[in-house]
Amino acid sequence: MDLGLRGTVCIVTGASRGIGRATAERLAAEGAQVLLVGRDRERLEAAAEAVGGVAFPADVTDPGAAAAIVADAEALGPVGVLVNNAGTSFARPVAELTDADWRAQHDIHVMAPMRLMREAAPRMAAAGGGRIVNVCSSAGKRPSLTNAAYSVTKAAQLSLSRVWADLHAADGVLVNAVTPGPVSSELWLGHGGLADQTAAARGVTREEALAAQAGKVPLGRFAEPGEVADVIVFLCSARASTVTGAAWSVDGGAVAIIV
């Protein structure tokens, strides 16, 4: 199936690893021109070289980053796709969360994607349309007590997605969200990642923490980054021509409601 992405200029944040890198790879495979954004310059440049894209090292929480990212992408042509994937999480009891923790999660999950949409969507509208996908989380639909700040800000990101969808639907700019559950990525499986943090918070072993998390998923396993990326790329495509304002669960059935 031709997804109609050949030549489309795409921005993917958090693109050096995990879901972001898998999304960049799939967009590039469809013939898109991809600007990969991330904080780790060395890793980002390696990812960009591997997928045949352009690296733009940046911290998306910097208030000036959005304008610079979009301007750099426009050097390749009109921006047609924005994937807001940058994010992070940590497992910590609610009582231990500081104001700085809450602010940091809000900055990366709400303010950063908002600024990028604010920059990109009007340009897409002026060019006749585009696609925006915000990578949220199943935790935004079903909060976690061990990831409270993450859960709350991911719920806000879902609301933000709907606001921009309503704002620009008539302009042909279609805005959607995906809500992955646990993913086999560095965020979960890396040293000191969510598996280790959850184990420490709950007083169990790493293996027990991973098994318990997988046990919450009817599919019985973590998703692979590419499985989430496949859904993202479809939503970025010409084939998703009437899909906007939706939050696609890509969580193996973990959230037991249809929304």
Give the homologous superfamily in CATH for domain 9-181+226-250: NAD(P)-binding Rossmann-like Domain (3.40.50.720)
* CA-based torsion, 9, 11, 16, 18: positive or negative: negative
Q: 34, 56, 124, 150: which is the annotated catalytic residue?
A: 150
Q: What is the pLDDT at residue 193?
A: 82
Q: 9-28: per-residue pLDDT in tens?
A: 999 999 999 999 999 999 99
Query: Checking phi first, is residue 40 left (phi over 0); if not, alpha (psi -120 to 50) or beta?
Result: beta
Q: What is the pLDDT at residue 259?
A: 58
- Is the CB of residue 140 less than 8 Å from the CB of residue 158? yes
At CA 113, angle to CA 111 and CA 117, rounded to 5? 115
For 211, residues 6+ apart whose C-beta sits below 8 A from its C-beta are none
Q: What is the pLDDT at residue 79?
A: 98
Query: In angstroms, rounded to a whole number, what is the distance separating the alpha carbons of residues 80 and 9?
Result: 5
Q: What is the pLDDT at residue 27?
A: 98
pLDDT band at 88 (very low <50, low <70, confident <90, very high): very high
Is pTM, for the whole model, over 0.85? yes
Q: 29-46: per-residue pLDDT in tens?
A: 999 999 999 999 999 999
69 part of the active site: no
Per-domain residue ranges of the chain:
9-181+226-250, 190-222
Q: 113-158: per-residue pLDDT in tens?
A: 999 999 999 999 999 999 999 999 999 999 988 889 999 999 999 9
Q: 156-177: per-residue pLDDT in tens?
A: 999 999 999 999 999 999 999 9
Query: In angstroms, rounded to a whole number, what is the distance separating the alpha carbons of residues 170 and 128?
Result: 10
Query: In angstroms, rounded to a whole number, what is the distance separating the alpha carbons of residues 186 and 18?
Result: 7
The rounded percent of the chain whose pLDDT value lies above 90 is 78
DSSP symbols for 151-180: HHHHHHHHHHHHHHHHHHGGGTEEEEEEEE
Which of 231 and 200 is assigned the larger pLDDT?
Answer: 231
